[in-house]
Structure 1
Amino acid sequence: MTGNDLKALLLLTLRDPAQVARLLIGLGLPMSTRWMALVLAVSVSGLLAWIAGQIAPVPAEMRSPFSDAVSQPLSMAGMQLAAVVIAAGLMSGVGRLFGGHGRFEDALLLTVWIEVVLLVIQTLQILLMLILPALASMLGVIAIVLFFWLTVQFTKELHGFTSGFKVLVGLFATAIALGFVLSIMAASFGLLPEMPQ
């Protein structure tokens, strides 16, 4: 895939994510290639997150073991890798519980592509942090909206669902349940910041 092909695919993702999902799945990439793409994407993302942290560091009073961990590129990349794998597992597993037919291998590829799209926005956000910090914050909000939109569209295409609203509701319900479980785990390991007295 050339640079022009990648650019065209990124633009098509914004216009017709369902078609992009079909194209990616239709490539029939070997599992090793999908894992390598994941490692590359989270490695670049971890590096970009570290650069952003150097430009706008977390205030001392807001620091926590978690913020210290994400300030290191390697640990950040590791956490993102785990997050993408979990997201792919949930995208395929929860969808199949509701009658979908998507495979984990394809869910992994689609979540990696979402990560690639977000990398582009992350790069633009870092550039804006240097010249227009307020606009960089707005771009962060756009990235969150884009993440949910692409996840819904890709999940629909992966499983053959027709209702984006039902997928969105399922996505939020899954996110809330996962957040609850992770918050308990984080608290048990002392990763949550202490509440001021």
Structure 2
Amino acid sequence: MTRDDFKTLAVQTLRQPEEAARWLIALNLPMPVRWMALVLAVALSGILAFGATAILGGPQDDAAPVMAITGQPLVLAATQLVAIVLGAGLMAGVGRMFGGRGRFEDALILTVWIEVMLLMVQLAQIVLSLALPALAGMLGILAVALFLWLTVQFTKALHGFTSGPKVLLVMFGTLLVMGFILSFFMAALGLMPEMPQ
């Protein structure tokens, strides 16, 4: 993929995300390339996290363990890698439960591309934090909205669904169930903050 292809795909992702998703799927990339793209994306995310920590300052010593992860780029990158693979599995698996036809391989490249788009927002947020902190905070909200919107649109393209609201509803339900399950694992590992007495 050339620089022009990258720019074109990024713009199309914002304007016509379903078309961008179909284009990514149609590339039919070999599985090793998809895994390499994932590793590259999380590595760049770790580098950005390290840069942000160095420039803006890391979490305080008394921060909750979950927040402290943001100050450890390697741990953060590993966590993101697991999260992206899990997200791709859920995008493919839950969608197929509702009659979709998407494959994990395609869901993986789509979730990696969502991460790349979020990395661009994260980079802009770091730059703006130095000059306009208030605007940088707004970009954080925009990143969440972009994640939800792209995930819905990419899921529709992956499985051939037509209703965005239904996909969003199922996605929220899946996130609630996963949050409930993960909270037990986090509590078992001592990653949940202690409640004040």
When normalised by structure 1's length, the TM-score is: 0.96
Aligned residue for 1:150?
150
Aligned residue for 1:166?
166
List aligned pairs for 1:89-168, cutoff 5 A: 89-168=89-168
Deviates more, 1:144-153 or 1:4-13: 4-13
Cα distance in 1 for residues equivalent to 2:171 and 2:52: 28
Aligned alpha-carbon RMSD (Å): 1.1
Verify: 1:18 aligned to 2:18, yes or no. Answer: yes
Cα distance in 2 for residues equivalent to 1:92 and 1:102: 6
1:134-169 CA-to-partner distances (Å, cap 9, x unmatched) read 110100000000000000000001001010000000
Aligned residue for 1:80?
80
The answer on whether the counterparts of 2:95 and 2:102 sit within 8 Å (CA) in structure 1 is yes
SS of the residue 2:75 aligns to: helix
Equivalenced residues, count:
196
1:86 offset after TM fit, Å? 0.2
Aligned residue for 1:35?
35
Aligned residue for 1:2?
2
Cα distance in 2 for residues equivalent to 1:142 and 1:18: 19
Cα distance in 1 for residues equivalent to 2:105 and 2:95: 14
Cα distance in 1 for residues equivalent to 2:180 and 2:47: 28
Letter matched to residue 59 of structure 1: Q
Identity, in percent, stands at: 59
Aligned residue for 1:65?
65
Runs (4 or more) in structure 1 with deviation over 6 Å come to none
1:64-89 CA-to-partner distances (Å, cap 9, x unmatched) read 22233331111111000000000000
Cα distance in 2 for residues equivalent to 1:141 and 1:48: 18
SS of the residue 1:161 aligns to: coil
The answer on whether the counterparts of 2:156 and 2:164 sit within 8 Å (CA) in structure 1 is yes
SS of the residue 1:42 aligns to: helix
Cα distance in 2 for residues equivalent to 1:56 and 1:164: 39
